[in-house]
Amino acid sequence: MLGLGAYDSSSEDEVEREASTPTKYENKRQPVELSTSASEKTASNRELSSPIVGPSHKEAQPESHFPNEQFPLSTSRTLVHDLTLPPVPNLDIPSSPPGSPDAKANAKFAHFLSLKKQDVHFNEKLALSTSLKNPSLLRKLMEHAGIDDQVQYSTSLPLEVWDVSSLPEWGFKEELLKAQKAVHQKAEEQRITAQRDTIHFVAATTTDSDGVRSAPEVWGRPRDDIYGPYNSSYLQTTGPKTHTQSPAVTGTSVIAVKFHGGVAIAADNLASYGSLARFTDVKRLRVFSESAVIGFSGDVSDMQYIDRLLESIDIRENYSTHGNMLNAKNLHTYLSKVLYKRRSEFNPLWNHILVAGFDEDKKPFLSSADLLGTTYSAPHLATGFGAHLAIPILRRLFPEEKPLEEISKEEAEAALRECLKVLWYRDARSLDKYSIAVITSDGVEVKEDQAIEAQSWAFAESIRGYGAQVN
């Protein structure tokens, strides 16, 4: 209100200002005559041309740095300067330059946000990835980045603070490993010498309060309180790289069959250690991105290696701009190339796999690949002993002249269950618990820990050599 009270302008004042004597200017650079009344009124115009904050007082006006006596145009310059400034500053954010932002970057951010809304987080996937838990990952990353053993100790600090070339020999990991092994060997020699000096009389087994030895995994192991804890450093070796010459823990048959609108695949849950049915809860069907299922037979450790490869591909595809677009045919081509590459390096992956799903034309796809990289496709396939026992059953139920459109999903599942029952009867490396997966256009349906029903061993009495029959 105080500012508005000082603003007393009217049309009469405007007429008087226009009638006042104007300032005389000349084109030549000469001193300009400026009347006293004109200068006062010009100053009043300057005061009224901008927003007034409070009452105006002559003693409160800032003094000019250039007195009018020396610089007669200073008042006019000040007036022109104030009239050209905007009364309200423009604080709006300017628009983006042409060509920005990048369309690919926008699409990638939109894909990340959509995955986050689905509760799929990149950091959690990395934390749960078995590939990043591989102890040899650091060595592979160094090779990929072109960092050798010497460069890994480099730093941005000055040489007088840190110089890798001045490190002593014992400061590197090779010498530290040798020193560690020497200490372990010396302690082992002392322990053996002490055992030879004394004889301990102890009970044969350690029992709990109920008289039963506690943990089955310690059965047959030397006792730690007598022989000391097991020294795992003996497992570390600096010798040449060795390859698997034969599989140790293996899985047996995988069976699959096409039907109208999809593919069904099944495998039991047994992993045998040689001829011992050691592990009875090994799932050998791997679902890839709700579009395909891979069934593994053969070495379990190589199966886990291939599973890590598929997991890394799944992560990379899900976080790409276009999303995961790989189908079953793409996966089969990739895995066959991996198997052939390892075979060419004389370090094969001891697996025979079946890939079931759909191809790029949305048609049912089923194909196999073995440790040599050899591929084969058919309406029904089986690996392991199932290639000899299950394939004749499937050929009898689904002959070649029977079109795929006449085979229903229920018929395919029933045929797989019948084949698994025959394998349980005749294959010593099979189990009566299995997993079955059905791939359709609606997705993948997996049923785990299924049991073979209606078992009957009455047929065994007619087999020569069974029971009391020896002739």
Instruction: Give the burial string for 429-452 (b: 16+ CB within 10 Å, else e).
Output: bbbbbbbbbbbbeeebeeeeebeb
| Window from 125-134, 169-178, 223-232, 443-452 with minimum mean pLDDT | 223-232
The 10s digit of each residue's pLDDT in 34-92 is 444 444 444 444 444 444 444 444 444 444 444 444 555 667 777 666 666 666 666 67
What is the DSSP annotation of 431-444? -SEEEEEEEETTEE
The 10s digit of each residue's pLDDT in 432-449 is 999 999 999 888 999 998
Mean pLDDT for the stretch of residues 269-296: 90
Q: Give the other-Cβ count within 10 Å of 47's Cβ.
A: 14
Question: Within 13 Å of residue 208, how many CA atoms lie on the same side as its CB?
Answer: 6
Give the pLDDT confidence score for residue 163 in this predicted structure. 80
Locate tokens 């048959």: which residue?
253
Question: Within 13 Å of residue 469, how many CA atoms lie on the same side as its CB?
Answer: 7
Annotated active-site positions, please? 244
Q: Could you tell me which of 82, 75, 120 has the C-alpha nearest to residue 317?
A: 120
> Is pTM, for the whole model, over 0.75?
no
Q: How far apart are CA 419 and CA 43, in angstroms?
A: 106
Supply 142's token pair.
Answer: 């160094």
Instruction: Give the burial string for 388-413 (b: 16+ CB within 10 Å, else e).
Output: ebbbebbeebbeeeeeeeebebebbb
The 10s digit of each residue's pLDDT in 119-159 is 888 788 777 777 777 767 777 888 888 887 777 777 888 88
The 10s digit of each residue's pLDDT in 372-416 is 999 999 999 999 999 999 999 999 999 988 898 999 999 999 999
